[in-house]
A and B are shown apart, each in its own frame.
Chain A
Amino acid sequence: MITFILRRLLAFVPTLWLIATLSFFIVRLAPGGPFQSEKAIPPAAKAQLLHTYGLDRPLAEQYGRFLWNTVRGDFGVSYRYPNRRVSEIIGDGFRVSAELGAWALLFAVLVGVPLGVIAAVRQNRAEDYAVMGIALAGVSVPSFVLAPVLVLVFSLTLFWFPPALWSGPSSRVLPVLALSAAYISFIARLARAGMLEVLHMDFVRTARAKGLAEVVVVVKHALPIGILPVVSYLGPAAARVVTGSIVIEQVFSIPGLGRQLVGAAFNRDYTLVLGVVLFYAGLLLVLNLLVDLAYAWLDPRVELS
């Protein structure tokens, strides 16, 4: 177990290095720079700026410094907001994004799993068709189409929830709903498929033969196994929530990490872009590791190797 975790953590190193290198060179080799503006800057001042940020050094040296600083967890100072450190901005943005993402995932599981179980238990009946129909629509409507429609209906017509911003519980409802819709659908389909497989297994038949109530058979015996596909999907789902959150933050003007990334990219804020991309990469790797561990914990047959 411990060796498995250590080995996986060790495998993070080349992956993170590759990402750091790729994004560093994309950012540096692109035309244009962070200090290009409509106003002409005096050459002396520009040279001073470049010197301050070490951009006048040879590329190899910049790359070396960047790697070394990254290893120490120091992403430097934002070019756009010189009085703020990149790690500070990431921290502030991530707190908001993490809250949004966690609510969305939680909501998706709490709604998606029961829907899937109901569909499986009532296979090929009205409930099943209803759930599967909703699920198919849910995966097909992109979140950035759903979000404006939700705003149109619930904020601009019914006035139930605020249309934007991130203050107070009622402002959470629409973004969480818009972000989680696709995962509700997907989780419902996975839970249904998983349950259908399990419900025909021998140990479920045994449980029924013992005379257990159907609810006990389904929830206590079948569900822990039938839910495995959902668990293994949570890693990719969390990864997709992270990216999906970018547009949701954009639609609702939420000050999360995704909005910071898009803003930083448009501002050519080198240090902030590199910091956010590396942070996201590390986050995704950790999420995937956690899912593997959860999988082994739920299903004793899975061996960690």
Chain B
Amino acid sequence: MSIGLSPPATVAQPESAGPVRSLWSDAWRRLRRNRAALAAGVFLLFMCTFAALAPWIPLVQDPTAQNLALGATPPTWAHWFGTDDLGRDLFARVLYGGRISMLVGIVGTLVSLVVGVTWGAIAGYAGGRTDEAMMRVVDVLYSLPYLFLVIVLLVFFSRSLLMLFVALGLVQWLTMARIVRGQVLSLKSQMFVEAARALGAGDAAILGRHIVPNTLGPVIVYATLTIPAVVLQEAFLSFLGLGVQPPDASWGTLVADGARVLALFPWMVVFPGLALSLTLLAFNFLGDGLRDALDPQDHSDVN
């Protein structure tokens, strides 16, 4: 029904002959040949570093310093992206907004990663009734209209960043659980697992040290595609006034602020919108590239 990543047919078969190349060095080689993905990765790295270090870069002005006498001005040499209606430097505000947006994206994805991998791995490894019950829970949760529940949750409880992390992470873990379970199902009957068991390894050790590490390929691909999804959802909620609250600003709130004064100060919507769109574009490129690199068998066009 839903278009998710289908688990690949085979996973990292040990090579019988030839020079020993790990899945990772193979993947890295393929990724390096994909110039679009590589450029996207470099762009994101640059963006994240710049946003993360923003408070310590002398060039970046204080994003909260108002200058009411100045008001909203179009881009100038002093203010590269112009200023907003309170005279605050928009370049600094976009950078600081990026800090929040990326933070939400990464933490939200980590929440979904931890919950999804744990759930999926246990379900797939346990098998039988446990598996059936756990995946039934996932099926039921899948059918919930999450965004509406998240809206209700955010409106009726405190609109804190923490709530946002939890709400967004909880939306995303279901697909992750399905992917990991599929992987674990195909891995647990393979020889190297049998070998580990024969050597006396316990269930926890087999799962944690032998099976889960081998699911990392698809997990990384899906996580790369989850970050932009979370960033987008955060922006969506913030745009509606339900996400990040002032004085904090994210790209979503900046776009919302800009949209309100669109007729007068169009640059206030253009620059944050551009930052958000370029970041999402870069994540999509990188995600596609990683999928091709880590999962060469699977060429189905998803997301």
Contact = CB atoms under 8 A, between A and B. Distances in A.
Interface string B237-271: 00111100000000010011011001100100110
Given A15-B144, A140-B284, A193-B300, A268 B276 contact: no
A23 B149 contact: yes
B56 interface: no
B155 interface: yes
B281 interface: yes
A269 to B, nearest CB: 11
Contact of A251 (B3, B232, B259, B277): B259
Interface in B1-24: 1-3
A206 B78 CA distance: 67
B156 A30 contact: yes
A82 B277 CA distance: 42
Contacts of B276: 142, 145
Nearest to B147: A243
Interface string A224-237: 00000100110110
A152 B266 contact: yes
Interface residues of B, number: 43
Contact of A141 (B155, B277, B285): B277
Interface in B152-196: 152-153, 155-157
A151 to B, nearest CB: 6
Among B145, B256, B270, B281: residue with most chain A CB under 10 A: B145
A167 B10 CA distance: 56
Contact of A277 (B2, B152, B300, B301): B152
Given A15-B143, A22-B149, A142-B232, A190 B301 contact: yes
Nearest to A14: B140
B127 interface: no
A23 B232 CA distance: 24
Given A15-B143, A140-B284, A261-B151, A27 B262 contact: no
Contacts of B278: 140
Interface in B126-158: 140, 143-145, 147-149, 151-153, 155-157
A235 B1 contact: yes
A4 B263 CA distance: 53
Contacts of B266: 152
A262 B240 contact: yes
Interface stretch (A63-71, A99-107, A278-286): A278-286
Contact of B258 (A26, A148, A281): A148
A247 B236 contact: yes
A288 B143 CA distance: 9
B287 to A, nearest CB: 11
B75 to A, nearest CB: 16
B280 interface: yes
A112 to B, nearest CB: 13
B235 interface: yes
A145 B301 contact: no
A43 B255 CA distance: 43
Interface in A50-87: none
Contacts of B147: 243
A33 to B, nearest CB: 10
Interface string A14-41: 1100110011001100111000000000
Interface string B110-125: 0000000000000000
Contact of B148 (A147, A236, A261): A261
A38 to B, nearest CB: 19
Contacts of B145: 19, 239, 243, 277, 280-281, 284
A265 B277 contact: no
A26 B151 CA distance: 11
A273 interface: yes
Contact of B284 (A139, A151, A193): A139
5 contacts: A18-B144, A22-B144, A140-B280, A144-B259, A236-B3
5 residue pairs, one from A and one from B, having the closest CB atoms: A30-B156, A193-B301, A145-B273, A140-B281, A265-B155
Given A27-B152, A266-B155, 19 more contacts: A18-B140, A26-B152, A26-B153, A141-B273, A142-B273, A144-B252, A144-B256, A144-B259, A145-B276, A229-B301, A243-B145, A243-B147, A247-B239, A262-B242, A265-B151, A277-B149, A280-B148, A281-B144, A284-B143
